[in-house]
Amino acid sequence: MAISKLFNKSFFTRTLSGIVLIVLLLVTFIMGGYVIFGLTLLLSLIGVNEVYKTVGVDKSPIGIIGYLSVIAYYALVLWKGTAYLGMFIVALLIVMMAIYVFTFPKYKTEQVLMSFFGVVYVAVLMSFLYLIRMTNDGIYSIWLIIISSWGCDTCAYLAGVICGKHKMAPILSPKKTIEGAIGGVLGAAGIGAIYGAVVGSNMAVGSMAPVYFAVLCACAGLISMVGDLAASAIKRNYEIKDYGKLIPGHGGVLDRFDSVIFTAPIIYYLIYFLF
């Protein structure tokens, strides 16, 4: 019964889309530079648009300000990295609140807050894909993001279908189980260890790569579930099934990258502080 549930039409559609995404990311990650910068910026704009559609500001002036803020932020990242991240967030909040005040009562408080939130939640967090690729050994370490998000998600799905019994978040996500979560974290750690054994000799961490990567992927894999559930919570609040239809079997950018945008900064800062 569990096996038949596993290999259904939805599974194969998701798998095919996942393969296409992996190929696209493989090319992009290898090329790096302006290529990954451009893709990350594009994904951020689409993701922010999905958030704005959810709250009905995607075509409004405050939405346009949000899109321009994304572009401005990425220009800042390209120029100075994360050096002015705090300044950008403060400036963005002030601008959004100024629009709220001087156009009152055109926008609801929730719309203004989500306009600010969308830029930080999607664009800022997504930018760490580019930032980690541009670090030393970035061509190798960037894959830890995928392992700890999509790898964890896949392992959690398999473990949940095969042996899941206890619900992890029964109201928010009824299909997710504690057994699946454990399987996801352990799976991400295992894949990370194998990956470390393969590429470790090319990196500064050397022979310790399997251990380091297992720990990194386990920690980030745990956080990835928060990202997944957070995106689901927003959808539940606004009573939508998916953020979009861009990726067959998955939905929109946020439906597929909801865990990636959480694991990317986690991996970046763990590597920064530990290595």
22 and 151 Cβ atoms separated by less than 8 Å: no
- Count of CB atoms within 10 A of residue 75's CB? 11
**What pLDDT shows up at residue 7?**
53
Kindly report, residue by residue over 72-97, the tens digit of the pLDDT.
999 999 998 888 999 999 999 999 99
Residue 148, judged by CB atoms within 10 A of its CB (0-12, 13-18, 19+), counts as buried
Please give the model's pTM, rounded to 2 decimal places. Answer: 0.91
Cis amide leading into 248 (omega within 30): no
Residues near 106 by beta carbon (within 8 Å), at least 6 away in sequence? none
In this prediction, residue 10 carries a pLDDT of: 64
Contact between residue 181 and residue 225 where contact means Cβ atoms under 8 Å apart: yes
Taking the C-alpha atoms of residue 130 and residue 132, their distance in angstroms, rounded to an integer, is 6
User: What's the gap between Cα 173 and its chain centre?
Assistant: 18
Name the average pLDDT for the chain. Answer: 91
Give pLDDT, residue 113.
96
What is the C-alpha separation between 109 and 21, in angstroms, rounded? 36
For residue 19, the model assigns a pLDDT of 84
Q: Is the pLDDT of residue 167 over 90?
A: no
Exposure on the CB side of residue 145, measured as CA atoms within 13 A: 33
pLDDT in tens, 106-131: 999 999 999 999 999 999 999 999 99
Residues 171-200, mean pLDDT to the nearest whole number: 92
| pLDDT of the residue at 1 | 44
Residue boundaries of the structural domains of the chain: 1-31+138-275, 33-134
Is the pLDDT at 37 greater than 90, yes or no?
Answer: yes
CB 134 within 8 A of CB 59: no
Give percent of the chain above pLDDT 70.
95
- Percent of the chain residues past pLDDT 90, beyond the cut: 72
Over residues 193-206, the mean pLDDT reads 92
pLDDT value at position 8?
Answer: 56
- pLDDT attached to residue 134: 94
Half-sphere exposure of 122 (CA within 13 A, CB side): 32
